[in-house]
Each structure stands twice: as structure tokens, then as C-alpha cells.
A and B are shown apart, each in its own frame.
Chain A
């Protein structure tokens, strides 16, 4: 048996949006091992979000083979998702949204608890633990619509952590955040990766803000992976300088 099995294994994968002919991502070959922390970088429209949503099966691939946790994505997407946390890009909540923070965090566990089962004390303990981890335990009974951008991002992260995920997919987790909030989220991600050995795949188009524990970068352009190397090698490459002429600042 392999010592460190692949958590994500994509082989020549194409994803085409329904009703379109040209694949948004094509010929994707990607292997992510347990406890990897990698960032997918690339300019807008490179297909980074499509790749994330192909991994958790929200978008179905139209060619190639895809496995997560050794299971075929197409056949087992619901089971895969129960072990995969996802933080969505640029999610702005309306100020009057009728949800309390604790319920939003619990909603991350709903799939894992399963149909016809009620949340137990253990489930609530995990919710409190996740909220404590992101430093939002005192906000449990507050409305999500009243939170600042950074606070809301932490709640979304707590929601994903409440799943106790083996794989964490983060789509632009630092977007719309000020410097201090970015620092807090970065510390948090480093801690989750270190303490829980969670595999993290993060999308970013800001090269100036990559977590210190992120050790591998995947560069995407026009739907393809054009480079896959260590963080240092990628950041020093000519390719990255041509794709990010302004140094990758947002």
C-alpha cells in the first residue's frame, strides 16, 4: 500500500460549462498528497475556481478521470463533499440575512450528520470548537449580516472546519480583507494545516499574500496548468512575472 496516497488525483481532466463548447479547464493533471498546502495562482479567468469546483464535484468534468480520497468524483461526490470543506469566493451576505453565526457554522456539518439525524451535543461541541479556533466564539448568537468582511470570512472558515475536513478548498480567502484580517486568516490557516494535518488547496490571484506554510504553487493560465513547482521556484520564474506584471498585487 502507498505510504502517502493521493488526496486529489486528476488525469487529463476537462470541464465544460453546460451549453458551452470550449472547456474552461482542459487537460488538467494534478496530484495532491495528504497534508499538502498548495495555492493555485493565475490571472482572472484562468479557470482556478472551475478547478476547485471540479475537485469537489460541484462542476462535472467532461473528459478525463478524477478521484478524491481514492473515490471517483462523479460517482461519489456527496460522500467526498462530506469530508471536503469549501470556502466560496467573494460571498457577500445581505445585512438583514436571518441567520445566526452558530447556525451558519452548524450548516457546514449538516451533510456529515446525514439525513434524518439531529445534531447531537458532540456536533455542537465541534461547532463551538471551530468557532473558538477562528476566534469567533463570542459571536455565536450574532446575525451574520452584521459582521465585518473579515469576521464573516472567519465564520465561513469555521463553517468549513466544522465539517472536520480532510481536504480544505479555499477560493480567494483573502479577497476583500484588510491587512490585519488577512494576517489573522493566514495565522489560522497555518495553524489548521499544522495541528490537524488538513490538506489545503487555496486559490489566489494575489502573490503578495501566500501563507508561509504554503509550499507548492500551481500556475494556471487560459484553462491549463502552466507550471507546478515549489513556491520559491515559481515566484522567481519569468512566467509568473509575465502573467503578473504588477507583481501580483490586488
Chain B
């Protein structure tokens, strides 16, 4: 096991907690809106952006945010307006983004195989600094305010978009807001988790929480808790086993999801029948 002083690890630990929070909070919306593929596409856009940053020698995080942001800008109207299967649009953008990422890296001689470039792909334990922590903190705060202030609208949109619209809610605004926040969450978590795996941090914790609760509010609370725990445990696993941090976080969150599938009360045989019988008897 690598032994390092705490002050050296502190930015990474804080980064892991905040990345776990923002990614898995966005996961509650992304999973419910069946936007899993869109988030997957966005994580690769952030990867392409980071590679572009390396190519033009600017901070890769700035270009990653810009690429993810631009993808959110394009994806929203494209998935709304284009009369194409959403999977076709996403598949197209995803492949373009990963191709761009590799081209950008290959254009910088000597960079393609360096640790700096590869860390964009699978994250790095020590690449997180206090600037990243500050940005993630600001995003976490903005996300928290967004969820608290617009909770009733978000529940309505998550339940059924057309019904929410029929009740006088501007659903497009919330749909785009979810895309933007997802873009930011992905881009800012890229350094820690890596472009290829950051999306698992969005989907796995939420999918785990979904196995236990019927109340959206509880899922909104538990999903970030699972996300944060996955990141911290993944961080520890990375330290003791010397695994890449992104891979370690994904293994932990995926294991959590697999276990949740086995023990989920929602999936137990006869669960619905039993609960129905219990309810019927309570009304006799």
C-alpha cells in the first residue's frame, strides 16, 4: 500500500467526494429520463475536449468543460428536432468525439502515450488540485440550489414530460438544464475518474438506489450518498491495490449495483403480490 501524508491526499479525497456527489445526483435525472446514452456521449466529448486542451497547451479541464458544454448545446435541440432515432444521433456524436479525442492526442507528438494524456482516459489519483476542488464545490452548490428550488418541477418532469408540460411547466428548460449540469459534472470529474469511465459514476449509484426505493426524494438523497461512498472506497482500493482510480471507483460502484440487484426488495418474487395482499387485508 502506498503511504502518503494526508495533506497530499486531501485534494483528491475532497475531489472524490464532490465528483461522487455531482455525478450521482445528475444520475437520478439521467437514468429516469432514459438519457444514459446521452451522458455516455457527453463523457467522451469531455475526453475529446481535454485532448484538445493538451494539443493547444491549455488547461485540459477548461477545454473539457467547453466541449461538454457544446455537446449539451447541440444534443438538446438535436434530440428534440432531428427526426432520427436518438440512439443514432448519440452513436454518431459519440464516435465523432472519441475519434476527435484520439486525433488531438496523436497530433501532439510524444503526448499520446504520456501519463498526462492517458490520465484523461482513466483518471488519475494525484491530478486533482485545489482549483478543481473549488470548481467542483461551486458546481455542487449550484446543483444543490437547482434541485431544492426546482424540486416540484423536476418531479413533475421526471414523472411524465408531456403531463408536466400540460400542467404549465416549461419542460424544455428543465431538460436542457439537466443536460448542462450533466456536461459540467462529467467535465469536472474527468481528471479523477477519466473519460472512459466517468459515466459509470452517473449511472451505477442511481441504479443501485433505484433497487430499494419507490420515493423519488429518497432516491435523490441516497444516490449521492452511494456515489460518494463508491468514490471513497474506490479511492482506497486504488491506494492499496495500485489500480487506476477511475477503474477502482467503477468496480466498487458496479459491485454495489450487482449486490443491489440480488437483495433488492423490488425484485423479490411475489413481492408485489404480498404487498397487495397486505394492503387488501388492511382495508377489510
On whether the beta carbons of A111 and B266 are closer than 8 Å, the reply is: no
| A19, A95, A96: residue with the most chain B Cβ atoms closer than 10 Å | A96
**Which of B63-71, B148-156, B184-192, B249-257 faces chain A?**
B148-156
Check B6 for interface membership: any CB of A closer than 8 A: no
On whether the beta carbons of A110 and B169 are closer than 8 Å, the reply is: yes
**In the complex, what distance in Å separates the CA atom of A113 from the CA atom of B162?**
18
Q: Which of B83, B216, B266, B279 contacts A103 (CB 8 A)?
A: B216
**In the complex, what distance in Å separates the CA atom of A107 from the CA atom of B214?**
16
Check A98 for interface membership: any CB of B closer than 8 A: yes
Q: Interface digits, B81-101 against A, CB 8 Å rule (1 contact, 0 not)?
A: 001000000000000000000
Q: Interface digits, A80-116 against B, CB 8 Å rule (1 contact, 0 not)?
A: 0110101010010001111110011011111111011
On whether the beta carbons of B169 and A111 are closer than 8 Å, the reply is: yes
On whether the beta carbons of B168 and A98 are closer than 8 Å, the reply is: no
Check A78 for interface membership: any CB of B closer than 8 A: yes
Check A15 for interface membership: any CB of B closer than 8 A: no
Q: Which of A141-171 contact B (CB under 8 A)?
A: 142-143, 145-146, 159, 163
B241 surroundings in chain A (CB, below 8 A) = none
Known: A107-B156, A146-B275, A146-B276. A99 touches B163 (CB 8 A): no
Which bucket holds chain A's interface residue count? 35 or more
**In the complex, what distance in Å separates the CA atom of A36 from the CA atom of B283?**
37
Smallest CB–CB gap between A57 and chain B, Å?
9
On whether the beta carbons of A107 and B162 are closer than 8 Å, the reply is: no
Q: Interface digits, A185-212 against B, CB 8 Å rule (1 contact, 0 not)?
A: 0000000000000000000000000000
Known: A100-B215, A138-B283. A163 touches B83 (CB 8 A): no
Question: How many chain B residues have a CB neighbour from A under 8 Å?
Answer: 33
B32 surroundings in chain A (CB, below 8 A) = 98
Q: Which of A88, A103, A145, A163 contacts B160 (CB 8 A)?
A: A88
On whether the beta carbons of B156 and A110 are closer than 8 Å, the reply is: yes
Check B219 for interface membership: any CB of A closer than 8 A: yes
On whether the beta carbons of A112 and B168 are closer than 8 Å, the reply is: yes
On whether the beta carbons of B166 and A56 are closer than 8 Å, the reply is: yes
A106 surroundings in chain B (CB, below 8 A) = 152, 155
**In the complex, what distance in Å separates the CA atom of A113 from the CA atom of B150?**
12
Known: A88-B160, A91-B160, A118-B152. A108 touches B167 (CB 8 A): yes
B164 surroundings in chain A (CB, below 8 A) = 107, 110-111
Check A79 for interface membership: any CB of B closer than 8 A: yes
**In the complex, what distance in Å separates the CA atom of A86 from the CA atom of B170?**
16
B216 surroundings in chain A (CB, below 8 A) = 98-100, 103
Q: Which of A58, A98, A104 contacts B166 (CB 8 A)?
A: A58
Check A119 for interface membership: any CB of B closer than 8 A: yes
Check B130 for interface membership: any CB of A closer than 8 A: no
| B158, B159, B162, B170: residue with the most chain A Cβ atoms closer than 10 Å | B159
A145 surroundings in chain B (CB, below 8 A) = 214
Check B102 for interface membership: any CB of A closer than 8 A: no
Chain B residue at smallest Cβ distance from A163: B167
Smallest CB–CB gap between B59 and chain A, Å?
35
On whether the beta carbons of A112 and B210 are closer than 8 Å, the reply is: no
On whether the beta carbons of B168 and A100 are closer than 8 Å, the reply is: no
| A58, A98, A112, A138: residue with the most chain B Cβ atoms closer than 10 Å | A98
**In the complex, what distance in Å separates the CA atom of A48 from the CA atom of B248?**
54
Chain A residue at smallest Cβ distance from B83: A19
Check B272 for interface membership: any CB of A closer than 8 A: yes
Smallest CB–CB gap between A127 and chain B, Å?
11
Pairs A-B, 9 closest by C-beta atoms: A111-B168, A143-B214, A107-B156, A86-B166, A111-B167, A81-B168, A82-B168, A110-B156, A110-B152
Q: A97-B159, A106-B155 are in contact. List 9 more A-B contacts (CB 8 A).
A: A56-B166, A86-B163, A91-B160, A99-B216, A100-B214, A103-B215, A107-B156, A109-B167, A111-B168
A residues in contact (CB < 8 Å) with B: 18-19, 56, 58, 78-79, 81-82, 84, 86, 88, 91, 95-100, 103-104, 106-113, 115-116, 118-119, 138, 142-143, 145-146, 159, 163
B residues in contact (CB < 8 Å) with A: 32, 83, 149-150, 152-153, 155-156, 158-160, 162-170, 210, 213-217, 219, 266, 272, 275-276, 279, 283
For this complex, 19 residue pairs linking A to B, each with C-beta atoms less than 8 Å apart, are A19-B83, A58-B165, A86-B163, A88-B162, A88-B163, A98-B215, A99-B155, A99-B159, A99-B216, A103-B159, A107-B164, A108-B163, A110-B153, A110-B156, A111-B167, A143-B214, A143-B215, A145-B214, A146-B272
